Amino acid sequence: MIDGLFDLKGRVALVTGASRGLGKMMALTLAEAGCHVALNARAADSLKETAARIEKLDRKVAIVPADVSDEAQVSAMVEKAQEALGKIDILVNNAGVWGGSYLVRLTRADWDKVLQVNLTGAYLVAKAVGKVMLKQRSGKIINMASILGFKPSPQSIAYAATKAAIIQMTRVMAVELGPAGIHVNAIAPGFFDTAMTQRYQEDKATLQAYVSKIPLRRYGQPEDLAGLVVFLASSASDHITGQTIVIDGGESLV
């Protein structure tokens, strides 16, 4: 019964923010599971190493640079991905920035940047890819949320606002696109070891105190997302939509 449930051979994935961290790991994981992959980031050069690794897996790969907050660039990105790979079966809507600061210190420019990339960017990419999937009458959209969309944390006001919005946007998208056979879910990571969190790992004593409160007693590594992204991209999740799945070692429980 489970034969083929997690098989992604021949499917095409578009991954935004794929040059590093969680996006890079998810792109490589989907390629290992059988996908051909379109890689997005602002700069094409930042994607070359990931593209080379995917090609070594004997998968097709397309580099589709774009600023996800620019609608014209997003449209061109999606068109280029289709031209290169023929279709888009899976979208990993991952591009994002942190911009952390306290409310009274956060500049309007930083607030606008976080909203434009994390929220407007996710909307624009989902809109463009959603049109492709509606014509195909199938698709899997995976939005990247965060546990900060559920729980408050100092210095996260802009980032948390966007991730809370992503969670609700995922639910609305699932309702709208579900009748066409399109599944929309979100992943909400906790604290992961990425470039975005590096400065919060520099104070080892504070980091250890933080980790000691996580039930699994460690923070996440990018590869911890591998199984979940394949699950949500595959037939194994064909009756799941509109959900946000938390992956945080139990961090949000305490």
CA–CA dist 224, 99 (Å, integer) = 24
In-domain check, residue 254: no
Burial status of residue 217 (CB atoms within 10 A of its CB: 0-12, 13-18, 19 or more): exposed
In-domain check, residue 251: no
How confident is the model over 80-125, as pLDDT tens digits?
A: 999 999 999 999 999 999 999 999 999 999 999 999 999 999 999 9
Domain interval for residue 99: 12-246
Catalytic residue among 159, 200, 210, 219: 159
How confident is the model over 120-142, as pLDDT tens digits?
A: 999 999 999 999 999 999 999 99
| Catalytic-residue membership of 210 | no
Share of the chain above pLDDT 90, in %: 87
**Mean pLDDT over each residue of the chain, to the nearest integer:** 95
Predicted pLDDT at 3? 76
Predicted pLDDT at 2? 79
How confident is the model over 183-242, as pLDDT tens digits?
A: 999 999 998 887 666 666 667 777 788 788 899 999 889 999 999 999 999 999 999 999
In-domain check, residue 114: yes
CA–CA dist 178, 30 (Å, integer) = 23
Q: What is the CATH number of the domain that holds 199?
A: 3.40.50.720
Residue 42 clears pLDDT 70, i.e. is over it = yes
In-domain check, residue 6: no
In-domain check, residue 98: yes
Query: How many domains does one find in the chain?
Result: 1
Task: Tell me the β-bridge partners of 205.
Answer: none
In-domain check, residue 1: no
Predicted pLDDT at 200? 64
In-domain check, residue 183: yes
Q: Which two tokens stand for residue 189?
A: 């990571």
CA–CA dist 247, 192 (Å, integer) = 10
Confidence of residue 167 (pLDDT cuts 50, 70, 90): very high
Q: Which of 26-30, 71-75, 191-195, 226-230 has the lowest mean pLDDT?
A: 191-195
In-domain check, residue 93: yes
Q: Among residues 148, 220, 133, 211, which one has the least CA distance to residue 178?
A: 133
CA–CA dist 170, 196 (Å, integer) = 23
CA–CA dist 29, 10 (Å, integer) = 14
